[in-house]
A = this chain, B = another copy of it.
Amino acid sequence: MHSEFDLIRRFFTHPAPGTVLGVGDDAALMRAAPGHELAVSTDMLVGGQHFFLDTDPEKLGHKALAVNLSDMAAMGARPRWALLALALPEPDEAWLSAFARGFMALAAEFHVDLVGGDTTRGPLSLCVTVLGEVPEGKALRRDGAREGDDVWVSGSVGDAALALAHLKRQAVLEPADAAWCLSRLDAPTPRVALGVALRGIAHAAIDVSDGLAADLGHILERSKVGAIVELSRLPRSAVLERLADRKLATTCMLAGGDDYELLFTAPAGVRQVIEDLGREQGLRVTRIGRVTAGAGLTVLGEDGAPMVLERTGFDHFR
């Protein structure tokens, strides 16, 4: 059996070119670029709660980092450093090697240095902390939405929730469709380039992790405004469009989390700028509604009438 120290060294010690001092001391040391603020977020993923215990460890490694990079994207921050704490029932080398492969590949893609970590024995769980940089005063916060703003979302929504419904046998999908949705659930793409490009353009942003309605609700609450969103405008994948169970499709789009798309508000004057951005980045951006005075979210159904929202998002303690 390998020791804790060996495990860290073997699987998680990589060159950290953007770091003063990486893994192996009491703390990592790094220098933020002058004139920049640091953005920091932390997420804990518990086996059996946030992922199945038999999840492919390489995919889990990807996802554990991806959800944190998505938080950086939602702030308009460029991710630079990550720390990983890992509890494992046994020091399983094959598992760790695959996990590290998924985690480090995504880190390399986004030029993120893994600078610190902790491995310990325990029920399988992960805690990832990511640090990023954003020019002073330019972060995309949740509290900046203003009456009259458009509400936008990137990509398509509901695919990850549909994959979950498929896994729970609540939806029947063709194999190819299931595979596609599962890739959205297992390997979300953090929208970092979009977040960075939206600095100075968007008024507020969040990533869709709890579900579109719940996450938009967070923006509205923090910004002290309301919003109207039209169900018919929500961007949906061909797979979700084909789904016969339209009630499930609607639930996935409005209440399904785990899509990790960017949901943001911006003034009407920059519509063309945002459309152009999406085109440049090869990423669909869709205007789904507008910010209003008052409070709360109104969703207009396919018939144009306000819907009653029963389940507004994922909450680990409900």
Contact = CB atoms under 8 A, between A and B. Distances in A.
A283 B47 CA distance: 43
B3 A40 contact: no
A63 interface: no
The 4 closest A-B pairs by CB, nearest first: A46-B122, A127-B127, A44-B85, A27-B41
Contacts of A91: 317
Contacts of A85: 42-44, 127
Interface in A182-224: 205-207, 222
Interface in A272-318: 315-318
Contacts of A118: 42-44, 127
Given A49-B121, A85-B44, A139-B21, A316 B4 contact: yes
Interface string A119-140: 1111101010111101010010
Interface residues of A, number: 72
B26 A71 contact: yes
Nearest to A195: B26
Contacts of A4: 315-318
Contacts of A129: 40, 42, 83, 129
A122 B125 CA distance: 9
Nearest to A206: B26
Contacts of A84: 42
A131 B134 CA distance: 17
